[in-house]
Amino acid sequence: MQGQGRTPGVRHVPRTPAHERGAAAPQVGARILAGRGARVIATGHDAAAVFDGMREVWLRVRAALRRPWPPEGLLVAVSAWCIVSANAAFWHALDVAGAAMGVQFAFGVALVALHALLFGLLAFGRALKPVLCALLVLTACASFFATRYAVLFDVEMIHNVLRTDPAESRELLSAGLLLHVLLQGVTPAMLVTLVPLRRDTFGRAAVRRGVFLLAMALLAAGALGSASQGIFSLVRADHALRYRITPGNVLVSAVRAVGERDEVPPGERQPVATDARRTTTPVMRRPRLLVLVVGETVRADHWGLNGYARDTTPELRARGVVNFPDVRACGSSTEVSLPCMFSALGRAHYDRDAIRAQQSLLDVVARTGVGVDWLDNQSGCKGVCAGTGMETMSAAIDPVACGAGRCLDAVLATALGQRLDTAQGDTLLVLHMLGNHGPAYFERYPAPYARYRPACASAELARCAQPAIINAYDNAILYTDAVLGQLIDLLAAHRAHDSALLYVSDHGESLGEYGLFLHGAPYALAPAQQLQVPMVWWSAADSARSMGLDLACVRSGARAPHAHDDLFPTVLGFFDIATRAYDRTRDIAGRCRAG
């Protein structure tokens, strides 16, 4: 019957035979995309094949997600993801060391097994998914800083993280960090929440978990044993390697950090130098004033007075300060250096718990009747001034120098001017600078000090070329130099005391050398850039004569090696404080003082 199967009123086009469609399809699908110089990138069949492939993958993933997983399978999956996605710095170190593929594979298997074992101890029952999600986000955060700044998460770095103030935390937040955590932490964590888990009785689940932990331990041992010579030679050659294994480095260091003794209340601290006494007082001589300026993150090889190619210290040079070119810090971070440099133990007898359980230099000096105060424009005194008090700089002191939650260091000059008007008797003032605190070096100085350009204007240093990072860093040193010049001028005009200023930075900074940025590397592994710091002394000529201090003698001994350990005896010597804890050989002016 003619016309059967056709819809009335609709024009029908005869179908092309199959063999002709096959020949014509590429011509139809291979149209050039719009745009000058565009290329044919896909055909109709290609696009359909890609779509079908993606659909097949999605169906398989959805089916896998709907099928109940054993909890231990999820532990292994998360462990493998962490080792593969979050350890770029670790794998790069193995490549640089020339590790064979077999050794790298064995190392990877061992790490997956060890992390699965560790996660299995932390996550059990209903806590499994929440703990794994938290670990994934933590791992993503750690891997970002390990990759972008080569941060090593040892115990001291964990202490730094735990004691970071809100202003510092805000500066570390960036779009790059948020995107990284979203992709490598939050996204897999969301997938973890979608995975259905097999339900078992508590007894059966406990037995299975015990067998799993034993199996992971045996697998790790077997993998390490199969390539033990190569693996252990790598670990011996690179002591920092274990700090690059994420998230194991964070978890192990965090456990150790929690186990260490925290801040001890001032009233419970062990007294030191209990025999301390002043051998002279303002009744017998003019009162003395020492301004001790603790710098922040300034490295010695960018200090103009030390011979740096750029004159980053013109103000100090003009004021004829005594410069100490070879000074070693107590630590590579403020968290370590500050308590250490104000301790009687110092780096020579370093013991973190012992230092924090003892009174500091400030307590000893205050006990002899010297007025002591700490003016802070940073993140606190790390317990050093707990027994003597601290004033935090704010806009109430100098609104011009303060804004956006931070004060530039000019606020310290304003605060010092106010203190000089009321200072009486022997006085020690500690000024804690913001200095070159990174990574936002560009926010540490006002516009007139942007001498070196282009300067990196981002806290995410990976976005800047190294020369731009160095320019911003050097501009910040220029500003520190200017503030120190202001402080010296205030003291020079102050006639009520015999005055002096001692400046020393707490630690240095890495600016890309060896792939490192910022600071905080383990002390035994830290490069010179993080440990060599500048130090200067200034005293007016008439004040030096009044104190019996030979400035030429101090200058002649300045080129000898010095360290943060010299601070304790130098301050005691300045105020004529006698004690068995005083070491004249470490007093930078000890041999130059009359009597």
Domains of the chain: 56-259 (no CATH), 283-592 (3.40.720.10)
Nearest to 455 by CA among 438, 439, 447, 467: 467
Q: Spell out where 173-287 has E strands.
A: 277-278
Instruction: State how far the Cα of 467 lies from the Cα of 445, in Å rounded to an integer.
Output: 18
pLDDT of residue 64: 64
Q: Given a cut of 50, is residue 39 above it in pLDDT?
A: no
Query: What is the per-residue pLDDT for 501?
Result: 98
pLDDT, tens only, 136-153 = 999 999 999 888 888 888
Angle between helices 128-149 and 88-96 (to 10 degrees): 50
> Can you spell out the DSSP letters for 174-193?
-HHHHHHHIIIIIHHHHHHH
User: Which of 2-11, 173-182, 264-273, 306-315 is predicted most confidently?
Assistant: 306-315
Better-scored residue on pLDDT, 261 or 372: 372
What token pair was written down for 35? 């745009």
Report the sign of the C-alpha dihedral through residues 57, 60, 65, 71, in that order: negative
202-226 helix and 71-85 helix, angle to the nearest 10 degrees: 40
Q: Exposed, middle or buried: residue 51 (CB in 10 Å: 0-12, 13-18, 19+)?
A: exposed
Structure tokens at 244: 């690059």
Structure-token pair, residue 213: 């932990």
Question: Distances in Å between the alpha carbon of 289 and those of 430, 499, 539?
Answer: 11, 5, 10
State how far the Cα of 538 lies from the Cα of 313, in Å rounded to an integer: 14
Neighbouring residues of 129: CB distance < 8 A, sequence distance ≥ 6 = 123, 192, 193, 197
Average pLDDT over the chain, rounded to an integer: 87
Compute φ and ψ for 294, nearest 5 degrees.
-95, 110
Please report the pLDDT score of residue 62 as a whole number. Answer: 67
Q: Nearest 5 degrees, angle CA 475-CA 166-CA 442?
A: 15
Backbone angles phi, psi at 66, to 5 degrees: -80, -20
What is the rounded CA–CA span in Å between residue 134 and residue 136? Answer: 5
Per residue in 301-339, pLDDT (tens digit) is 999 999 999 999 999 999 999 999 999 999 999 999 999
> Is residue 407 very low, low, confident or very high in pLDDT (cuts 50, 70, 90)?
very high
Each residue's pLDDT tens digit, 388-397: 989 999 999 9
Taking only the tens place, the pLDDT of each residue in 238-253 is: 777 888 899 998 998 8
What pLDDT does residue 124 have? 86
> In sequence order, what are the residues at sequence separation of 6 or more whose Cβ sits closer than 8 angstroms to the Cβ of residue 435?
295, 296, 297, 298, 378, 409, 444, 476, 480, 505
pLDDT tens across 560-575, in order? 999 999 999 999 999 9
27 has pLDDT over 50 = no
Percent share of the chain, pLDDT over 90: 64
Note the pTM of the prediction, 2 decimals.
0.80
In this structure, of 55-64, 285-294, 414-423, the range with the lowest mean pLDDT score is 55-64
Report pLDDT for 171.
76
What confidence score (pLDDT) does residue 65 get? 63
Is the pLDDT at 11 greater than 60, yes or no? no
**How much of the chain, in percent, has pLDDT values that exceed 70?**
90
More confident residue, 318 or 256: 318
Omega prior to 282 cis, within 30 of 0: no
pLDDT digits (tens, 9 = 90+) for 577-593: 999 999 999 999 999 98
Contact 194, 87 (CB under 8 A): no
472: its two tokens: 């911003």
CA nearest to 558, candidates 529, 589, 584, 528: 589
Least confident of 27-36, 95-104, 420-429, 464-473: 27-36
- Helix then strand then coil, % of the chain, to nearest 5: 55, 10, 35
Q: How far apart are CA 109 and CA 345, in angstroms?
A: 44
DSSP annotation of 532 reads: B
Position 67, amino acid: R
Among 565, 539, 567, CA closest to 553? 539
Instruction: Identify whether the C-beta of residue 378 lies closer than 8 Å to the C-beta of residue 167.
Output: no
Kindly tell me if the per-residue pLDDT of 9 is higher than 80: no
Over 80: is that where the pLDDT of 346 sits? yes
pLDDT at res. 20: 45
Q: Is residue 31 over pLDDT 60? A: no
Residue 217 — pLDDT band, cuts 50, 70, 90?
A: very high
